[in-house]
C-alpha cells in the first residue's frame, strides 16, 4: 500500500513538471540580410532570448540550475511557415517546424530595382 502511494505521488510530480507551458515568439527580418530574434518562456519564466544574424543559429539561454538550449532555423522554411525552433531542457528535447504569424513586405532597394524585404512576427504555444 505504501509503495503504490509513493509511486502515484512520484508519477504525478514527474508528469506535472515535465510539460510546462512553452510560449515562443519570433521575428524575422529578411532582404539584403536575415536576422532572427527569438524569445522562449517556459512555465512563465523567460529561459531563452537572442538574436541570430543569418538564417540559423543558437539562441542564448539562461544558465541556471537547469540546462537549456535553443536553435532557430529559417534557412529551410519559407517565411510564410515561420522558423523551425529546437528547444531542450532537462525534461527533454522538442522541435517545432513552423509557427503562425504575419509579414509585412516592401521594396527595400527602391526605384525600379526589384528587391523585396520582409518583417515577420510569429507565435507558438505548446503544453499550455
What pLDDT, in 10s, does the model give residues 39-97? Answer: 999 999 999 999 999 989 999 888 665 678 899 998 877 777 889 999 998 888 999 99
DSSP state of 34: -
Residue 8 located in a structural domain = no
Residue 18 located in a structural domain = no
Secondary structure of 65-97 as H, E, C letters: CCECEEEEECCCCCCCCCCEEEEEECCEEEEEE
Residue 75: the pLDDT is 85
Residue 46 located in a structural domain = yes
Residue 11 located in a structural domain = no
Distance (Å, whole) CA 59 – CA 69: 7
Residue 12 located in a structural domain = no
Domain that holds residue 93: 27-126
Residue 3 located in a structural domain = no
Task: Tell me how far CA of residue 52 lies from CA of 27, 45, 90, 91, 125, in angstroms.
Answer: 11, 21, 24, 25, 21
Output 9 or 118, whichever has higher pLDDT: 118
Residue 20 located in a structural domain = no
- pTM for this entry: 0.77
How many domains does the chain divide into?
1
Residue 116: the pLDDT is 87
The answer to whether the beta carbons of residues 79 and 103 sit under 8 Å apart is yes
| Side-by-side strand order, sheet with 35-42 | 45-53, 35-42, 22-30, 116-126, 100-107
Residue 58 located in a structural domain = yes
Amino acid at each position: 500500500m505504501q509503495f503504490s502511494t509513493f509511486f502515484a505521488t512520484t508519477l504525478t510530480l514527474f508528469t506535472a513538471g515535465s510539460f510546462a507551458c512553452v510560449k515562443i515568439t519570433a521575428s524575422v527580418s529578411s532582404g539584403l540580410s536575415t536576422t532572427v530574434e527569438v524569445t522562449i518562456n517556459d512555465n512563465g519564466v523567460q529561459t531563452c532570448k537572442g538574436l541570430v544574424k543569418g538564417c540559423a543559429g543558437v539562441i542564448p539561454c539562461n544558465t541556471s540550475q537547469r540546462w537549456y538550449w535553443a536553435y532557430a532555423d529559417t534557412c529551410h522554411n519559407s517565411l510564410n511557415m515561420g522558423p523551425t525552433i529546437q528547444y531542450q531542457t532537462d525534461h527533454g528535447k522538442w522541435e517545432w517546424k513552423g509557427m503562425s504569424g504575419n509579414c509585412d513586405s516592401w521594396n527595400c532597394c527602391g526605384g525600379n530595382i526589384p528587391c523585396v524585404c520582409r518583417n515577420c512576427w510569429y507565435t507558438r504555444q505548446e503544453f499550455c
